[in-house]
Amino acid sequence: MRVFHCDHCGQLVFFENTHCVSCGHLLAFLPDLMVVGSLDQAAGEAGLWTSPLPAAAGRRYRLCANYPDLQVCNWAVDDDDETPLCRSCRLTRVTPDLSVAGHQVAWYRLEVAKRRLVYTLLTLGLPISGALDQEPLVFQFLADGASGEAPVLTGHSSGVVTINVAEADDAERERRRTALGEPYRTLLGHMRHEVGHYYWARLISRDPARLARFRGLFGDDRQDYAAALRRHYESGPSPDWQDRFVSAYGSAHPWEDWAETWAHYLHMTDTIETAATCGVSLRPRRSDEPSLARVPAGLGARDSSFDRLLESWFPITYLLNNLNRGLGHGDAYPFVLSPAVVDKLRFVHETVAATAASGALLR
């Protein structure tokens, strides 16, 4: 994620901000320009806004309907777009019942995570709308029902990503993380994982050559999925899973291996973009400690070299983990990337780059 500045006063602002704390101007993310911009009320036109950015000259914007009315969004919509919702909010098919206590906050947290996901997908040039016989990407945020009903399962099916609203509760998510023995569990991580299943169906399953490469790296996806998950939960992963998989859950089935690897790739690209924007570098006193020249702008984007990305990644994770330990937390990055996992990440990178370069799929 990049950092941004107010176009009126130059104050540092961030992706989730709604107002500049220095000059008070309204802020909104402008998807057509991929920036957080400060806005001016359009002269004589209520509900319309303009941006002082040169690239926005002549354009007028409306706020997403979920921005002023419900305060769960901070994106803008081009006035020529007839849809009242922004590019991120229109992907949400089902929202939580706001008459239930806590659901307003939960929905806000879910949408914050989804907007970060959508930002990354757009930055990488990945399709999110339907084309030909392909399903569009949509989300539904569902809560568990009355006692006795089956709980909502977070997952993906035919383009629909379902997230249990309970995952937006920090205490409940931590309880589930501990119960399942997971080192890492976040709302954003859930969404990155589940859209991995969407992109497997869209980018891998329909391309014979790419599917063959997938099976050579991840295994045969035709094995019984339900039986594989049952074995995983009954017996656990094999003792050497770290030699071949990025997570224990990834060892359950090739589809889950792909989704975990895909999510990990999005973790990497987003974090590296942030490090590049912030000007991160490491200059240790000893030559045998991890070092990092200033991360070049654009590293982590779709046209970056995977080798350059990986070269920067290890020093960044070293820094992240040490900073977290200094704050009394566990490792921010509790993963080990074996050579087999690196090969899988490279395949994800090449798939993303080829998709963006083709320009044949609607975004």
Domain boundaries, the chain: 1-87, 93-358
* pLDDT tops 90 at residue 300: no
pLDDT at 276: 87
**What is the pLDDT at residue 363?**
41
pLDDT of residue 182: 78
Total-model pTM: 0.90
Residue 301 has pLDDT above 80, yes or no: no
Could you tell me which of 111, 127, 256, 248 has the C-alpha nearest to residue 193?
Answer: 256
**Dihedral sign of CA atoms 52, 56, 60, 65 in order:** negative
Residues of the chain above pLDDT 70, percent:
94
Nearest to 197 by CA among 150, 241, 163: 163
The amino acid occupying position 336 is V
Q: Considering Cα of 28, then 31, then 32, then 35, what sign does the dihedral take?
A: positive
306 residue type, one letter: F
